[in-house]
Amino acid sequence: MSESGMPLVREKEREFEWRQQDFDFLSALLHDKTGIVLTAKKKEMVYGRLVRRLRVLRLDSFEAYCRYLAGPDGETELGMALNAITTNTTNFFREIHHFEFLRDKILQPLRRQVDADAGHPVRIWSAGCSSGQEPYSIAMVMRRTLGGRTRNCKILATDLDTNMLDMAKAGYYEAERCADTIPKNLFKTYTRPSRRRTTRGHQEELREMSPDLKEIITFKELNLLHPWPMRGKFDAIFCRNVMIYFDRETQTNLVRRYAEYLKPNGILFVGHSESLLNVSDIYKCEGKTIYRVLT
């Protein structure tokens, strides 16, 4: 029995043998390629999420899977493994105070510049956008605050998980969840009823994000540890509940890189369990998990 009173899983009860050296290889490979840290307490989670990959590839052990990852097709499969392991839990208008700050302290002041010059650029980056609820939430606030003056307003939404990006680009979400999490006035304006789909024999009502939102969002695959191809700078960057997967050194390096991509006085939003205590020399706290880059 474990300390929690739950019975431990015995190796003989597993579908595939799961050795410590297999976990060590996978955790080291993912850390090297993506910066993600898999601690020992994640071992059971990794097994549970990767067994389907062994079934798809028709492999008979995790030892064989590790060999496959080290082989010529390993780079492609690494992406599939990452998609399976990373948790993609998100919602519309999560951490509502961030969107209030975006509206009141960033976009409303920018409205005056956009009113004076319709071509004035407004740029926001959703880094780690998952299935798209965050950038669509940003887009709703941007559209509502700036009105029709969004000719040169763009949102970049990036993620490493290609499956999530495909879902985000499509822009279809469960209707009930949309209604529960999107403010009513925005829900009516920026979502529309769409097709039903069969899920386990049941019909599910969907809502589709409006074209007005889709046209200002660009979805791109991006590994945050690799070079960033963006040339311009951003008024705000959302990087929420992404850094929790990285070790402290990687987190520090990442937020310092963000500072280089923010416009003077630009804002960085982070997750509720994240902080920038180690980089207080380049950011000033403006509120709960809201940081302004120092110029």
CA 42 to chain centre: 20
What does the block give as tokens for 215?
A: 């046209």
Residue of 49, 94, 103, 256 with catalytic role: 49
Give the whole-angstrom CA distance, residue 210 versus residue 172: 10
Respond yes or no: is residue 247 known to be catalytic. no
Respond yes or no: is residue 49 known to be catalytic. yes
Q: Which one-letter DSSP state was computed for residue 14?
A: S
The position carrying tokens 């080290």 is 70
Alpha helices of the chain — where are they, by DSSP H? 20-34, 43-57, 62-70, 74-85, 96-101, 108-116, 133-146, 162-170, 175-181, 184-190, 211-214, 248-260
Residue of 159, 161, 240, 292 with catalytic role: 159
Complete edge-to-edge strand list for the sheet that includes strand 122-127: 217-221, 153-159, 122-127, 234-239, 262-270, 290-293, 283-287
| Contact call for residues 216 and 152 (beta carbons, < 8 A) | no
| Catalytic annotation, residues | 49, 159
